[in-house]
Structures are given as C-alpha cells and as structure tokens.
Structure 1
C-alpha cells in the first residue's frame, strides 16, 4: 500500500498537486478490533499520517482491507450506511457480493462463486467421485463449501462427510473430526481452510498416523510458503488447488528491502523487526534480552530468507496495489484533474464508492 501511495504522490499525471495520506492498523485477526477501527475512521476522529509533513485532516475516503472474509463482513456491515468504500485484496466469500447487505464493499480478488465451482470441476477432471470435505467454521469456509457442495452434486461427486472446525475448538470436537477421517474410505479431502487451520489439522493427522490423502485446497493456503514450511511431516505433499494468478510489480522488491526510511523515522517497529530478523539487539533497546550480539544496523537484508523477503506473495501485494490505484483514479475523476485538480470539490464517500 505504501509503495502504491509513494508512486501516486510522486506522479505528475495522477492526482497532480494532491497527496494521499494513510493510517495503518493491525487488527490482530480480531473482528471486534476491526470494527472498532472502522467506526473511528467513519466518525472522522482519526488524524491520518501523510507522506508529506502536513497531516491529513479530511474524512477517510476509503478503507483497504481486511484480509479475510469474516472481518470484512462485520466491517462492511458497519460502514455500509456511511458509503465508505472498503476494498479487500483477499476476502473471497461470495456472500460479500450482496450489495443489499454490503453496499460499499469492493475487492480486487475473484469471489468464491467462481473458485468453488472451479474446484468441483477440478475434482471431476481427475475422476474423483467419492470425497471428504473440511472447512473453517466461518463465513469463508461455510459459504465456499456450500457452493462447492451444490456444484459437486450436479457433477455426480458424492461427499462422504463434510465437517467444520476452528483451530480454537475444544480437543474433543477436533478428535471427532479425526475419528470421521479415520473411519472414512475416501482418500481425497477437499478443504476451505485458513492456513492456521490447515496446520492445526495436519498436526493432529500426524499424531494419529493418518497419511496418504490427496488434498485439494483453496487460494488461502495452497501456495502459501509458510504453510508448506510448517508441514514438517509432509502430510500435504502432492496437494493441488487454485491460486491467485502470478503478478509482478516493478520496483516492489527493492522497496520492501529498503528499510532505511523506516529506520530514519520515529517508528518503533524498526528496532523490533531488525532484532528479530538478525538475532541481535541495539544498545538502547528494551525489546530484546539475553546474550545476543549487538546490531550494527548495516546487516544485509537481501541475504535473509524468510516470510518478509518472500516474493511469492507478490500476487497478494498486487491486489493491494490495484486497490490503492482504484481509489486514486476515482478521486482523480471526481476532482476533475488534468494538469491541476479542483480542490474545491466536496468529496463524498458515496461518490467515491
């Protein structure tokens, strides 16, 4: 998002003379926290940070996020009456396409209306007509699996079982799912799961020596490098599924690896990030303990291989990038920008959305 904003603010063609500002929140996978922040933004009580020195004081024009469907459903419901556009880069639940419930929700990723049907077609292609199904017990999993089940039935695919769980479920509920898988005869498992739920399930399968299944997955985890890295017992080997089309944003990798602007700012995130990546500590730091070596600040980030430097996530980055540019082009048109923009136009979120 910051990369796109920097590009737009440096552009002389898009929004000339106008600087986009931003504020970033970590919702910590909490729906309640997401809604709280959205309400604060809708009420105009937030002072937004700008890339220029002057703070933005106007009402927020768009919200970029959330990552998953359930928080999006909650936030889009709350901000819908205010007509503030909410643009998600990764929430795929088909339910979010209902404009009567979510009038200002938009996204830069296809709906599961298509993915669910494509998964059924994929299974039909391989001639698998007897399968099991597991889903995350939330909007993403329940809606996605419902569409898949309906399509599968039309294609002559039978579901031996269809179960829902959440990683925080009590052990006895997860044990019941393990017992169902153990007693089943189908060797193909179709999933609508989040990465964290996949790992929780795989760990249980290993403990019960349940291997040899053909996994079919959705975009949420099928190409996620962290999920693959955490599957230490190779339970998911050979999994197939659907992923977001490959994309590359020129200059993105260089921007991500250039942390000097972050270091020179007053952002407290830099020392914590740097100390974690390089297993060192700064002299004045209070965030690290133990006998770690001292950070110099000149360590080479390009030599680090971790989730931060993993550019396989570029398709998701690109969805965020497109969302920022969609807002910028909308504002460009509303403000009648040519060589200059009409600053006297009263911006209305309803018009932006």
Structure 2
C-alpha cells in the first residue's frame, strides 16, 4: 500500500515539478507541515522522530475546506528526555576530537504525536526538507538529513521504512521491536539498537524454561507489535517443551464484554503463568477487571513494552501484578547527561518550539501572552533542579540509552566513510564515497559494519538484518517500604555472553507474590520420570500427556522422554526401566543345584561302572563272568563309563571344543555300548543254536575276532557320521534370547539338524535291532538267560529315548540340556542295572550259585 501511495505521490510531484520548472525555472514545495521540534544547523544533520506528545484531535473534517492541522497535547516527559539525549550525544560527538574531527553534526527533531500520520509527515519533512523552493532544475540533491533516529513505534517504522528504503535512507530505531523489520528485502536501510521481538521472545522463553513453566497463557495487543510477537512466541515456545494454554487478543476499544470474557478465560485456565506482549494502555482494562473480580494468584511475564510502565506500578495493582517478572531493554549510564538535562533553556527559534512546550508543561507558564490573560509568563530561567519529573530521572536510562547508541552508530558510520582513502574504498573500482555529495546508500554500507563499545562497556554492532546484539535486563516488581511497587533488576539475558550462559538470575532477590514466597508450578502434566515416556492426550496440546512405563527391554534415562530406547542385544532394562543392565547369562553350571545333582549322579554312575569292572576283573574266571562273554562285558562296562563321563561335557559354560565333543562323545559312546549289547545278543542266540544238532556250525561265525570286528565296524559308522557333521556344520556356542528375552541362554547350537538326527537315529536303529533280537531270544533256557536281561535293558533304553524327544523340544534353555543329561544317565543306569546287577548279586551275595554245576544244574532241572 505504501509503495503504491509513494509511487502515486512521486509521479504527481514529478509532473507538478516539471510544469512549475517549465514556468518558473524552480522546484516548489507543494505543502508545509506544522510540526513541533528542535533544530540545530551543522555540516551534517541527523533527523529524529520521538513520541513527545499525544494527538488528541485532528479537528473537524470537511470536503469544502482544507483539514485543520492536528493539535497535540499530553506532554510525555520521558520521551522528551529521549529527544534531549539525542541532542546531548550530538554535542558530545562534536566535542570529541577523535570522532569526526573538523566535522560538526546538527539535528532536526520532530514530535510524531503518537500517530502514524504525523510521524509520516515528520519523516517526509526530514527527507525532503522544508525549504519553499529549490533552485536545482532536476529537483535533486543530497537529502537534508544523513539519517533518522527513530521512529519508536513498530507500526510507524514499518510504514516509514517502506518508503525510506526505496532511497536507502538509513533509519535507526531505538524502540521498534517488531521482528518483521528484520526482513532485509523489505527494509534494506533499517537498523535498530533495541533487540527485535524474536530475541525478546527467546529471552522470555529462557525465563519460562528456567522455572519449568511449560503451561502458559498468552495475551497480546491488537497491533503490529503484539501480533508479530505472539506469532514468534507460538513458533518458539514448543522448542523447550512448552505449550500455550490460551491465546487472547487485547482489544483496543475497551470493549467491556470482551474484557470480561478474557478475564473469565484467565480465571478458568489451569495455567498459572501469563505472558503479555502489549503496552500498558491495552493491558490496564484487563487488570482493572481482575481487581474487580478479585482474580489473583497469577505469575505475570512482562514484555519490554510494559515491564517498566509507571502507570501499572500504582499501589492498587499490587495484589494482581506484584511479583511480575519482565524483561527490559538494557539499562545504561551516560556520564554528564543529568547536568545537560538541567541546563536546557527555551529560545525564540520557531524550529525549537518543543523546548518551549516542555517549559510550559513543567512550570505552568507561557511565553505568548496573546489570549492568555492572567497566566504566569515564563522567564526561561526557571530552575529545573527543583522539579521532580521523569525528565530529570536518569536512574533508569533504557530507551534514552538506546538513543545514545543509535546516534553514536550513525556517527561512527559517517566517520568510517570520511576517513576512506581513494583506491582502497569499498565501492566499484575501490572508490570512496563523494564526501561533498553524500549518498544515503553509501552510509548504509558503513553502518552495517559499525563496531564500537560505549563508555558504559556495551558492545554495539549490527547483524546482517540490522539488529543489535540481544541483551536484556530481567526485572521484578517488588513492594517497597511505603507500600508502593518498585522495579528491581534481578538478572540479565545476554545472547552474546562469553561464558555461554544466556540467562543469569539472582533468585534470592526475586519477590514472589504468593503465600509460599516461592515460584508456582505451571504445567499441564507433571514431568514423566526416567523409566517412562510421554503419551500425548488426544485433542490436547503436547504439554498435556500421560506417563506410560517403558516396555520390557526398553528404557528412558531422561525426564519427559518422548520415546523409550531399546537396550542393546546383550542388555536388558532394570526393574525401574531407567538404564540397561547386562542380561543374565543362563547355562547349566557346576554351581547350579541342578548341575551339582546331575554331576553327582554321573560320577556315581562312573564309580558304579568302575566297581563292576573291578568285580568282574576279580571274578573273571568264575562261571558267571565267563558264561556271559567277559570280553564284551568289559567293553560294555567301558562304554557305559564313557556314557556317564560324557555328561560332564554338557555342564558348564559352552565352549567351542565342548560343543563339538559333547554330542560326538555321547554318540560314539552309546553306539559302542549298544553295538556291544547287540553282539552279545547275537552270541547268545548263536550259542543256543550251536547246542542243537542242526546248528553246530553257528559259532564259527561268532568267534572273538568276528565279535570285535562287528563292534568296531558299527562304531566306525557313528564316527563317520560325527566327522561329517563336525566338518560341515559343527555345533558352536550360541547366545539365545528367544526363550526368555531378559535372559541370555548360553547353549550349543547343533549346527545341522540332519547331522544330529542321523546321530540319534543310528543309535535308535541299533537299539531297536538289539531289542528285537533279545525279545526273540527271551524264552531260551535259564543257562542262556542273558537275553532276558538284554531285553529288559533295551526296553528301558528305548522308553527313555522315546520320551526324550518331546521333553527336549519343549524344554527351554538349560532345562533342555538337563533333559538330555537325564536321558543319558537314565538309559546308562538302565543298561548297567538291568545287565550287570543280577550277575553282581550272584557273585557277591550268592557265591554258591557262581559255579558251573549250579548253572548247568538249573539248566538240567529246567529241562
């Protein structure tokens, strides 16, 4: 809109100026604004726009006559102090021999009356000048001012910068904070010595984050400042885990119903902290309504626009606004400013009427007696030191300090431009600016590179967007001894701090307006402790959540974790689910009660075998031993001993060699055992047949050599099976978490199911053949009753191993190993007891029956 307006004005001015030039040969100013201001001539003029008075009325509007000029009233002492600070800074620079030597600076300052129309007129007057005619036929030339300090309002700065930016006229605001002004494409020549709202929002979020206030309400004014600040707050608040409980626009027309509704929202909300981006004029009706309804107990966070507002510091607001935390632009100290403010005197220059208006407001006198009979006349020599006004108060120099820095920034930029040497300049062909015909865009270039430190110790520079370094004071509204409310500095927010600590607070100095004298909690949901995760409630902001415990095998080791982290493969979550611990490694160990029991039984079985061997060796010539094929008996006892001992390979932490040996030794030992029994069975049958006439030649096929060879061949087949299995898919140690996820079962992976099946199948085949042959020979005469014992032993063996398969498959972890060991021990004891117990019984307890006659006698009696 401003661009279109400016284009229309520019075209109109060009047309009029061309017409007038053709007639009179001069350019003539088409309008003149009556503005209150201050002026001082010099080599270079700096413009200024300040909010010194308030525009009360424009006067009557009519389409028949030209509108009357606006009438400004309500003089603001603080704003006039800011304007005088600009004058003081210029005088200080003129007296500084090291800054702009031999060059003097002047000023042209206008009052904007807090209205955009007046501010725009003032800016136009600063850029185009106030001379009635211009002799330059092209209506061109350097502008009357080299730059403008101001405007303080964001809305004003947006409008003015939109036009000044077309000509690259530098403008340095000391109070406009709208983050939209950081757009370099729209406002290429705008700078500011106050941080933008983007920095202000981050500073306020630093305070919220420090106290853990994640559930906050938001109020903002219905203007550029409030709307842009609220947008920035919404965009940044979630970065620290915060949420906005409610967001309300403060009306600018004192709509009572709307104000009542907003107070009702504040009263009904669960948020105990309210952030406000507004000026005091917007906020005051809401605070009045809260006082009327006795709505207290809220912690207010004030933006810089009202953090130091004297209007809201009234004692009647203490119950509502006491303890407010706010941020304010950096407070500074300016040496000599106090004496300068007291030294000003009015003069008769029409361009300096702002000083006369100030004098009349302070002392209640006037300089023009026309129409003011009976009013005291000002002498101009009244003593300002006896007055108590915000104008003379230099204890809280905030906006004035920013004005001071803005003037010095412009002076340093001009100084850099003036000391440029030809051939080393920054412009095309290493040229410098024309010092006699200064272009505004050239000064913008140097202003962008300004870098200096004030006498107060603050560093002044601008980033690529023209924004100053972000630094704020943290303020606290505290009651004083007389019952009034005073503002005290309790911390600082400095994004450029060398320590890296952005927020520094003196918490002991903070006053809390609550019975506990402690900061209130303001959260939608309490923080989730480690071991849980946040689960957002459907339809509510992310700050409203439930805390769900992490699943087994997952942890969260931080507060308010959004996701649980899965533990590494060999780790598991502890009971609290806040850190991972190594998984329990389970295997059948020698220290385990089950392992101890099985080891004991295996060793007992080995001892029994050894005992039987000793007995048989001692009575090897007795009929009982000799009649039962002593050589095969010893071989069988040896193989059973190996069966008992192979159990020890199944106990203990699996190693590669134990995994490879356990099944190989087990398989070979049992084949040796079963093949010995099979040969014994075949020998029994052959002996029986050889005792009959038709079978006298049967024994020639079952001599000692044939027996050994048969056992060797049958065992060799199992050795071959084991060799193939171990060479192709050898069993290896394996960490298995499939049975129980929280436990690592250390076991031997069989490697090849086919290999393991062939090993067991071959044993089962031999056992089945032995059982079948023994069963067929069960009715032989008593002197050949070995077949009965073999039948019984094979019955036990087959029953054990048939039941082993389902029990092994269904048993988890170490219990599968225990089942296999049990099967080995049970079958081994079955063979040992069924075959050798009857013989040992006769040898030890009934030696009278251990004779050939007794054995043959029983056979004769049987016949």
Q: Which residue among 311, 322, 336 is the counterpart of 1:227?
A: 311
Corresponding residue pairs, total: 337
Deviations 1:122-171 (A, max 9, x none): 11221222221101122221221222222222222222211112433533
Is the Cα contact below 8 Å between 2:259 and 2:285 reproduced in 1? no
Scaled by the length of structure 1, the TM-score of the pair is 0.84
Q: Distance in 1 between matches of 2:313 and 2:149?
A: 29
Distance 1:284 1:348, change over 3 A: closer
Q: Which residue among 127, 132, 149 is the counterpart of 2:234?
A: 149
Q: Which moved more, 1:14-23 or 1:70-79?
A: 14-23
Q: Structure 1: give runs of 5+ residues left out of the alignment.
A: 48-56
Give, in angstroms, the shift of residue 214 of structure 1.
1.0
Q: Which residue among 313, 322, 325 is the counterpart of 2:408?
A: 325
Is the Cα contact below 8 Å between 2:155 and 2:224 reproduced in 1? yes
Q: Which residue of 2 aligns with 1:348?
A: 439
Q: Which residue of 2 aligns with 1:38?
A: 123
Q: Which residue of 2 aligns with 1:114?
A: 199
Is the Cα contact below 8 Å between 1:93 and 1:111 reproduced in 2? yes
Is the Cα contact below 8 Å between 2:251 and 2:258 reproduced in 1? no
Deviations 1:249-292 (A, max 9, x none): 111111112123x35766444454334334x4358646978x88
Q: Distance in 2 between matches of 1:335 and 1:329?
A: 10
Give, in angstroms, the shift of residue 107 of structure 1.
0.6
Distance 1:92 1:295, change over 3 A: same
Q: Which residue of 2 aligns with 1:308?
A: 391
Q: Which residue of 1 aligns with 2:184?
A: 99
Q: Distance in 1 between matches of 2:371 and 2:224?
A: 37
Q: Which structure is higher in RCO with an 8 Å CA cutoff and minimum separation 6?
A: 1
Is the Cα contact below 8 Å between 1:117 and 1:151 reproduced in 2? yes
Q: Which residue among 365, 386, 391 is the counterpart of 1:281?
A: 365
Is the Cα contact below 8 Å between 2:179 and 2:196 reproduced in 1? yes
Equivalence map 1:180-329=2 (5 Å): 180-224=265-309, 226-230=310-314, 232-234=316-318, 235-260=320-345, 262=346, 267-278=352-363, 280-281=364-365, 285=369, 299-329=382-412
Give, in angstroms, the shift of residue 298 of structure 1.
5.2
Distance 1:332 1:121, change over 3 A: closer
Give, in angstroms, the shift of residue 212 of structure 1.
2.6
Give, in angstroms, the shift of residue 238 of structure 1.
0.6
Q: Distance in 1 between matches of 2:400 and 2:298?
A: 32
Q: Which residue of 2 aligns with 1:54?
A: none
Q: Distance in 2 between matches of 1:4 and 1:173?
A: 45
Is the Cα contact below 8 Å between 1:221 and 1:227 reproduced in 2? no
Query: How large is the Cα RMSD of the aligned pairs?
Result: 2.8
Q: Distance in 2 between matches of 1:210 and 1:285?
A: 52
Distance 1:154 1:336, change over 3 A: closer
Asked if residue 26 in structure 1 is aligned to residue 127 in structure 2, the reply is no
Q: Distance in 2 between matches of 1:218 and 1:114?
A: 11
Q: Which moved more, 1:112-121 or 1:102-111?
A: 112-121
Is the Cα contact below 8 Å between 1:130 and 1:188 reproduced in 2? yes
Give, in angstroms, the shift of residue 94 of structure 1.
1.5
Q: Which moved more, 1:174-183 or 1:294-303?
A: 294-303
Q: Which residue of 1 aligns with 2:101?
A: 16
Larger helix percent: 2
Q: Structure 2: give runs of 5+ residues left out of the alignment.
A: 1-85, 132-141, 422-432, 445-863
Q: Which residue among 67, 80, 91 is the counterpart of 1:6?
A: 91
Is the Cα contact below 8 Å between 1:202 and 1:231 reproduced in 2? no
Give, in angstroms, the shift of residue 348 of structure 1.
0.3
Q: Which residue of 2 aligns with 1:53?
A: none
Q: Which has the larger radius of gyration?
A: 2
Q: Distance in 2 between matches of 1:117 and 1:287?
A: 55
Is the Cα contact below 8 Å between 2:254 and 2:285 reproduced in 1? no
Distance 1:122 1:241, change over 3 A: same
Is the Cα contact below 8 Å between 1:335 and 1:343 reproduced in 2? no
Q: Distance in 2 between matches of 1:282 and 1:41?
A: 28
Asked if residue 175 in structure 1 is aligned to residue 260 in structure 2, the reply is yes
Q: Which residue of 2 aligns with 1:334?
A: 417
Q: Which moved more, 1:119-128 or 1:81-90?
A: 119-128
Is the Cα contact below 8 Å between 1:135 and 1:142 reproduced in 2? yes
